[in-house]
């Protein structure tokens, strides 16, 4: 477990990118490749920008990275809500990552269950063990697309499921707790004042919240800005 609280969102992006670069290089040194599952949402945009610009853009050996996703909206890749589209625009395109190194979660939004099975098979090529999973957190304590009171929370075997709960519009595909618990490293990126109270509750391991349940079960790297983490620690705190 590690906790880093940065003064603001920009410092968080830079600090998290540096920490992530270290995790990537550790995986590459150990196994040659780094298999990373990216997070969706808006917070990763700044992180991606920091990774795709100097000095990190030139420091990391991107040819030895394979990019997966922690969750995805069931929409076409061209849809502005697509996490894969966001990553393409903010990370893959700026770095010139070849499509052969990118594994979108949803290729055919008309068949979410089949897509979950396709992705499950893809993960089996490496026993479903990611080197790194990046997560965000919603103000309801969700991570990936493990939302409160949705069926995906109950999955105990499959690594990827379609989460078609009626309250999810659009529906989602998501990594499950088995996948998140099996990962070698999991890092949580949280920014903004609207998440501070939930984050404090999650970090106690409150299993009523999806991310709290994960925090109770495995070590996590917490990368926070002061607005999100002010109830937990002061900025530039590292443990």
Instruction: Pick the closest to residue 220 from 228, 212, 231 (CA basis).
Output: 212
Query: How far, in Å, CA of 143 to CA of 149, rounded?
Result: 13
33 vs 77, beta carbon nearer ligand 6PG: 77
DSSP conformation class of 89: I
DSSP conformation class of 119: H
In the complex, the smallest distance separating the C-beta of residue 95 from ligand 6PG, rounded to whole angstroms, is 21
Instruction: Pick the closest to residue 47 from 35, 36, 60, 56 (CA basis).
Output: 56
33 vs 165, beta carbon nearer ligand 6PG: 165
64 vs 170, beta carbon nearer ligand 6PG: 170
Give the number of C-alpha atoms closer than 13 A to the C-alpha of residue 51, restricted to the C-beta side.
28
142 vs 159, beta carbon nearer ligand 6PG: 142
Q: Which residues bind ligand 6PG (CB under 6 A)?
A: 39-43, 70-71, 83, 136-138, 142-145
In the complex, the smallest distance separating the C-beta of residue 194 from ligand 6PG, rounded to whole angstroms, is 8
Instruction: Pick the closest to residue 40 from 94, 1, 14, 77 (CA basis).
Output: 77
Helices (H) and strands (E) in the chain, counts: 10, 9
Task: Determine the residue with CB nearest ligand 6PG.
Answer: 136
In the complex, the smallest distance separating the C-beta of residue 9 from ligand 6PG, rounded to whole angstroms, is 11
33 vs 164, beta carbon nearer ligand 6PG: 164
Query: How far, in Å, CA of 19 to CA of 147, rounded?
Result: 27
In the complex, the smallest distance separating the C-beta of residue 191 from ligand 6PG, rounded to whole angstroms, is 7
In the complex, the smallest distance separating the C-beta of residue 29 from ligand 6PG, rounded to whole angstroms, is 28
In the complex, the smallest distance separating the C-beta of residue 72 from ligand 6PG, rounded to whole angstroms, is 7
Query: How far, in Å, CA of 194 to CA of 104, rounded?
Result: 29
70 vs 212, beta carbon nearer ligand 6PG: 70
Rg of the chain's alpha carbons, rounded to an integer?
Answer: 16
Query: How far, in Å, CA of 39 to CA of 103, rounded?
Result: 13
How many Å is the maximal CA-CA distance in the chain? 46
């Amino acid at each position: 477990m590690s906790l880093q609280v940065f003064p603001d969102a920009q410092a968080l992006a830079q600090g998290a990118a540096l920490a992530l670069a270290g995790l990537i290089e550790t995986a590459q040194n150990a196994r040659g490749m780094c298999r990373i599952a990216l997070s969706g949402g808006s917070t990763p945009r700044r992180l991606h920008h920091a990774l795709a610009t100097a000095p990190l853009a030139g420091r990391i050996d991107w040819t030895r990275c394979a990019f997966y996703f922690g969750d995805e909206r069931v929409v076409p890749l061209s849809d502005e809500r697509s996490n894969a589209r966001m990553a393409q625009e903010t990370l893959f395109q700026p770095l010139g990552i070849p499509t052969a190194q990118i594994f979108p979660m949803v290729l055919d939004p008309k068949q979410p269950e089949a897509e979950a099975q396709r992705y499950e098979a893809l993960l089996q090529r490496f026993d479903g063990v990611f080197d790194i999973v990046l997560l965000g957190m919603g103000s309801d304590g969700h991570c990936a697309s493990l939302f409160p009171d949705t069926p995906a929370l109950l999955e105990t075997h499959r690594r990827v499921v379609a989460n078609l709960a009626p309250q999810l519009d659009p529906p989602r595909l998501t990594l499950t707790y088995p996948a998140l618990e099996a990962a070698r490293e999991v890092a949580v990126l949280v920014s903004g004042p609207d998440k501070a109270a939930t984050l404090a509750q999650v970090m106690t391991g409150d299993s009523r919240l999806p991310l709290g349940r994960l925090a109770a079960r495995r070590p996590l790297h917490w990368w926070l800005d002061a607005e999100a983490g002010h109830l937990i620690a002061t900025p530039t705190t590292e443990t």
